[in-house]
Structure 1
Amino acid sequence: MDTLAAKKIVISGYYGFDNSGDEAVLQSILLALEEQGRQQGIRFIPVVLSANPVKTSQTYGVEAVHRMSPGAMLRAIRSADGLISGGGSLLQDATGAKTIPYYLGVLKLAQWLGKPTFIYSQGIGPVYRGMFFGWIRSVFNRCCLVSVRDTESKQLLLNMKVSSEIIVVPDPVMGMPLSEGEQGQIEPLPTDKPIIGISVRYWNQDRSELKALAEAVSTILKQTDAHIRFLPFHLPSDEEASNVIKAQLGSQHDDRISISHGAAHPQQMLAEVGRCDLLIGMRLHSLIYAASQQVPMLGISYDPKIDQFLNRLDMLAVAHTTAIHNETGASIVAEAVKLLEQRSKWQADKQPLIEHLKNEAQTPAKQIALFFNKGRDHH
């Protein structure tokens, strides 16, 4: 009997921070590696670098070590067959100057130890500090696979003179299946009315985007009989942002507004999004979940990655946080009402694009499995 070849693979990313989007990326990569590995006769044994190794280990049933413990990381990488730098916007310096050196450092460590390294569907940029260009180039040119989640990321790497082949693939989360058990895990809703899911985050200092959104939601409540369901993706801050809007709506609609609690596992949040009739989202992964579940959506952009994803579905953002005010609020309302009425038309229009993204989402895992299959001894 042909036993599967075991390959230990370290996965580096923004994991263990209670960010539903990044946790979904991890879950999707783990499922894709399992499926694609099986097809190539390989059993991947993942070791995840996490900010909360105990929780990561319990949630996904994998080995995890602390992402800031040099000793544990060194031991994990040294004993591994390869390293994946996985998913999400890891190589950007918008949130600070330490992010890029950390993720490149992990890759470089693996390369020093002679391990094959793989870039798994990353969003690259923005990179404001020119000094990072050379670092990214030298590390990426030594990778066995460079896959990015949009053409803009590819263009940025080409501008940095990265000479490795760069393939553009969808975000890994597009390929995440809805698990059978999770629908039963989410709290029932006290309504048979249409459900509008809303995923918001803090962005503008003056909270102007939340104020404009609250006004839009208030109008939607007047014009439709929908139930508003807030879906916090990054805890606790998204829950606070949701409560800011809820407070502005006053108490007269309390029975028509709810906030999702405890959808900690990505597939629970996927099930939450899946039962919405419409989703209005600021978080990238709220939009990706909606697409994967064929839920019509309106994206509010605070970052080019939102526009880039919508672009792949031939859509534009309904508003941008830089310029969200009463006029945009009115267009959010108009679009929301329209999409609720024309839900099935939207689904029919977008189905081919969504299916294409879903099929392509496992490409990096497939390539990694093929890489290890080629390296096997076929006697």
Structure 2
Amino acid sequence: MDAHGMTVGVLGSYGGRNLGDEAILTSLIDDLKVRAARARILVFTRDPDQTRRAHPGVEAVRWEDSNHEGRIALLRGLDLLVLGGGGVLYDTEARRYLRMVRAAQEQGVPVFTYAVGAGPLTEPLDCAMVVETLGAAIEVTVRDEESKRALEDAGLTRPVTVTADPALLLRGEEFDLGILHGDRLPEQRRLMGMSVREPGRAAESLDPAEYHRLLAHVGDFLVHRFDAHLLFVPMENRDLRHAHAVLSHMTAAEHGRILHGDYRPRQILGLMEHLDLVVGMRLHFLIFAALAGVPALPLPYAGKVFDFARQMGAPALLGVVRESAGPLLAEVDRLWDERPVRLPQNNARLATLRDRAARTGVRLEAVLAEVRAGTARPVVRAG
């Protein structure tokens, strides 16, 4: 088989207009195009039209609403199925993706997991499917140590390689800040950013009213302490409502603005280069800030954010709902004062993480070589 003429399927949380997931897909496709330039790439997505617009030359199909026979026909035509990246393996959600993985393996298609995120995994059905399907994968790579522990706690006994989030390899595009200056964004003030999120399944313990008020205190502090304008950057549509709620609690709301519009991940990364400091909950908002060299205060709501904060040497906050305004504002102040010292340290840490992220592609290239040679086979489990 010509390795460049193969068909590679990509399965993940794509087409949902989440900038983090789309950043992962962008990096993954870039990687595939380098390692198998003429490969046919087929993305399983919620919104095929949106995925095709964002990634010209890539094929896209809706997978959840298609009939069983149609899915099997698509899977049978694959030479390799790539699961990931991103946090797709957690309770009640993992089974949706792993049913597709199992169906592919039943058709003899080898499976490679691309720096996936995992956990929490406590539901017996999800744990059983993890053991069955990932145990039969060609290789399993995850984006952090927490994900590895979650898979092992679920019962997976095979080797798991820890790399890093694929979005760490994203390249930005130039962002014309003049677009924002025309809409109540004064040029003479510093520009700072904030990311808030909805209390979804990954953050069910969050009390929205409590953290809206807390973040409003932070927003007011940024405005007054640094003579700044505050830009809320929604990473998906559901963030908009919470950004509006925080803004409504601010006493300096006239110096805040919410970013509206449909932007690509590369554009948001370009926007980050115009910000002076950010405070954020969303993992990929924080990753974009690190890539742009912007001081960032993480507000952890889940293990993946704690893990990234630790790796970047960020302040060790207890989490969003357990912080009081005073210590949080002190951390913001310290972050600003220490930015000349922190920048070279953060750049060194970021280089290490980017090297780890690149190892996923190295492992994928080895699997592509096995596919080309006809030696890549899913593990057949007894019984």
Q: State the TM-score, normalizing by the size of structure 1.
A: 0.89
SS of residue matched to 1:229: strand
Match for residue 122 of structure 2? 128
Tell me the CA shift for residue 346 of structure 1. 1.4
Instruction: Check whether the contact 2:122–2:154 (CA below 8 A) recurs between aligned residues.
Output: no
Matched letter for residue 174 of structure 1? L
Match for residue 349 of structure 2? 353
Tell me the CA shift for residue 317 of structure 1. 4.3
Say which of 39, 44, 48 aligns to 1:49. 44
CA deviations over 1:307-366 (Å, ceiling 9, x no partner): 011122133443513323xxx212222222222233222111111110111122132222
SS of residue matched to 2:122: coil
SS of residue matched to 2:257: strand
CA deviations over 1:141-168 (Å, ceiling 9, x no partner): 1111100111121122223342332110
Tell me the CA shift for residue 248 of structure 1. 1.6
The percentage of counterpart residues that share the same residue type is 26
Q: Distance in 1 between matches of 2:148 and 2:78?
A: 28
CA deviations over 1:268-319 (Å, ceiling 9, x no partner): 1111222211110111111111112221111111111110111221334435
Say which of 329, 333, 336 aligns to 1:333. 329
Q: Distance in 2 between matches of 1:365 and 1:355?
A: 16
Match for residue 275 of structure 2? 276
Match for residue 73 of structure 2? 75
CA deviations over 1:118-158 (Å, ceiling 9, x no partner): 11111111012134322211111111110011112112222
SS of residue matched to 1:5: helix
Instruction: Check whether the contact 2:3–2:39 (CA below 8 A) recurs between aligned residues.
Output: no
Q: Distance in 2 between matches of 1:157 and 1:253?
A: 44
CA deviations over 1:50-95 (Å, ceiling 9, x no partner): 11111111111111000211344323221111101111111111xx
Q: Distance in 2 between matches of 1:67 and 1:170?
A: 27
Match for residue 249 of structure 1? 250
- Work out whether 1:29 is the aligned partner of 2:13: no
Tell me the CA shift for residue 377 of structure 1. 5.5
Q: Distance in 1 between matches of 2:7 and 2:346?
A: 38
Instruction: Check whether the contact 1:214–1:245 (CA below 8 A) recurs between aligned residues.
Output: yes
Match for residue 323 of structure 1? 322
Consecutive unaligned residues of structure 2, counting only runs of 5 or more, are: 200-205, 375-383
Matched letter for residue 90 of structure 1? V
Q: Distance in 2 between matches of 1:280 and 1:290?
A: 10
Match for residue 12 of structure 1? 11
SS of residue matched to 1:362: helix
Instruction: Check whether the contact 1:214–1:249 (CA below 8 A) recurs between aligned residues.
Output: yes
Structure 1 range deviating more: 135-144 or 66-75:
66-75
Instruction: Check whether the contact 1:298–1:317 (CA below 8 A) recurs between aligned residues.
Output: no
Consecutive unaligned residues of structure 1, counting only runs of 5 or more, are: none
Superposition pairs of residues 1-379 of structure 1, within 5 angstroms: 5-37=4-36, 42-61=37-56, 62-68=58-64, 69-70=66-67, 71-93=69-91, 97=92, 99-179=93-173, 182-184=174-176, 187-189=179-181, 190-203=186-199, 204-235=206-237, 237-250=238-251, 253-254=253-254, 256-324=255-323, 328-376=324-372
CA deviations over 1:192-223 (Å, ceiling 9, x no partner): 43321100013234421011110222123222
Instruction: Check whether the contact 2:121–2:154 (CA below 8 A) recurs between aligned residues.
Output: no
